[in-house]
Structure 1
């Protein structure tokens, strides 16, 4: 049975795209014959983020502290000692570093010390966050940091072709595009519920939904402004915007929103989110930094027409006028026009619902996990051949 050690700075119960994909990876690979161990931050008992934690045979939870401006984010002091210990004791065949922060870096260094092959994933292009946080001058520094991290791996996973091109520009070789897919059973039109429409006071309105972290890089202010313009166009229609998610920008966004905007906070991903997606009428996002856009895939799987910015990873699975409506980055009139078309054109709305579901079915999680299983086994096999050709047998002592 091959062994996989996952080193990540974000894991359940924390809720975000990285933790969701990483947890699905652990669960899916365990079902495919892998013995998995996880090195991740410890989360306080008070954190009740609605994301179940996959069961692993070995899960090392590292002492952590919250980021002052963003309590859900946990910071771990560079845990090289813990990483070396679990590599030495668990004896993984491959180490997967899902993040580039302290836990990911420790996993990378420990794996290299013991000559274990390393696979990294470039989930988030943090260099693109620099503009959103008002420090654009740091973008080249962050890019160099990311490039250095991934160049030290045996193989890098890119969530989209756009990310792969960026990695290659940084001279990161051995890259494979793998986005993790979407669970088309958990997220499905069959979860439509009149009870959910009543619960969220949707009524007979046309309800747009936004799901995601409420942080500057997600560009939620743009969505609020677009919805305000939309309301001015349709004064005779009842329209609402529902925002699911939490984050450091939540208070400021609530102050900016009108009476027709409902904030739900964090929504239970297992129990409530599927019905929320399937029971809404349209999905809207204006993020320009998504390497994959998992929430867009989940909306599509739920049969929800999508209005989204045609940028980064989202642009690769958003097919304009077939499974959603796209607008250019920063194009407010384009976003409002797309939202207006969904409200006014019932036949277009139904065509996009069908197209969205069909697109999601071609990107199922099961298919993606089969691909990942094959990739990791190839990496392990290549490393074994390399070790066999070495004049010295492999032993679990740190490499010099």
Structure 2
């Protein structure tokens, strides 16, 4: 049974795309015969458990503190000693660093000390966040850090070919595209119900949905403005916009939104989110920084037509007029026009529903996890060859 140590700065119950994909990886590989251990921050009981933690026999937690401006984000001191001890005791065949921060950094350092092969994932291009947070001058510094981190791994996985090109530009040579897929059973049109429409205050109104963290880089204010333009166009018809998610700018967004905008906060992914997706009429996002756009794939799997910015990873799965409608980054008129077409054209709406589901079925989680299983075995096999026949996996002493 191969052993995998996952080192991540984000894991359930913390809710974001990285934690969702990483938890899915651990669950899926365990089902495929891997013995998985996880090193991740500890989270307080008060953290909203919108994402349930997968069963992990070996979960190593380290203390963490909330980021002052964003309490849901936890910061941990680099657990280098603990990472060394785990590798000595657990003796993994492979270490996966899912993030580039303190926990991922400690896992990378410890794995290299013991000559354990490392796989990393570049989930988030943090250099692109610099503009959204008002520090564009830091972008080259962040890129150098990210590139230096991933160049130390045997393989770096990218959620999309767009991200893979970014990695190559950072001189990261050993890459593979793997995005994690989408659970097409959990997210499905079969979860539609009139009861859910009533519960989420949709009623008979045409309802747009936005799901995601309420943070500057998600460009939610753009969505609010676009919805207001569409609402004015259709004065004779009731429209709604539902915002599902939480984050540091939630209060500002609530103050800006009109009466037809509903904020749900963090939504339980198991109990509520599938029905929310499947029961809405359209999904809209204006984020320009998504490396994969998991929420877009979840909406598609639910048979929900998507209006999205044709940028970064989202553009690789969004096919204009087939599974959704695309608009260019920053193009308010394009976004308003796409949203208006969904409202006005019932035949287009139905065609996009069918196309969205078909697209998602080709990106199922099961298929993606089979690919990951094979990919990780190839990394281990290549590492075994490079070590040579004299290398003993039982000798766990730091490499000189």
Partner of 2:193: 193
Q: Quick check: 1:311 aligned with 2:301?
A: no
SS in 2 for 1:303: coil
Q: Quick check: 1:289 aligned with 2:300?
A: no
Q: Is the 8 A contact 2:220 2:285 kept in 1?
A: yes
**Structure 1 outlier segments of 4+, above 6 Å:** 391-394
Q: Quick check: 1:244 aligned with 2:244?
A: yes
Q: Is the 8 A contact 2:214 2:220 kept in 1?
A: yes
Cα deviation per residue 1:377-398 (whole Å; 9 max; x = unaligned)? 1111111122224578762001
Aligned-residue CA RMSD (Å): 0.9
SS in 1 for 2:252: helix
Q: TM-score, normalised by structure 2?
A: 0.99
Structure 1 Cα separation of the partners of residues 251 and 390 of structure 2: 59
Q: Is the 8 A contact 1:387 1:394 kept in 2?
A: no
Query: What is the deviation of 1:57?
Result: 1.6
Partner of 2:235: 235
How do residues 1-400 of structure 1 correspond to structure 2 at under 5 angstroms? Answer: 1-389=1-389, 395-400=395-400
SS in 2 for 1:53: coil
Structure 1 Cα separation of the partners of residues 50 and 44 of structure 2: 14
Query: What is the deviation of 1:48?
Result: 2.5
SS in 2 for 1:313: helix
- Structure 2: segments with no counterpart, 5+ residues: none
SS in 2 for 1:289: coil
Equivalenced residue count is 400
Query: What is the deviation of 1:174?
Result: 1.3
Structure 1 Cα separation of the partners of residues 71 and 245 of structure 2: 14
Cα deviation per residue 1:156-201 (whole Å; 9 max; x = unaligned)? 0000000000101111011000000000000000000111100111
Cα deviation per residue 1:73-106 (whole Å; 9 max; x = unaligned)? 1110111011111111100000000000000000
Distance 1:377 1:202, change over 3 A: same
Structure 1 Cα separation of the partners of residues 49 and 271 of structure 2: 12
Q: TM-score, normalised by structure 1?
A: 0.99
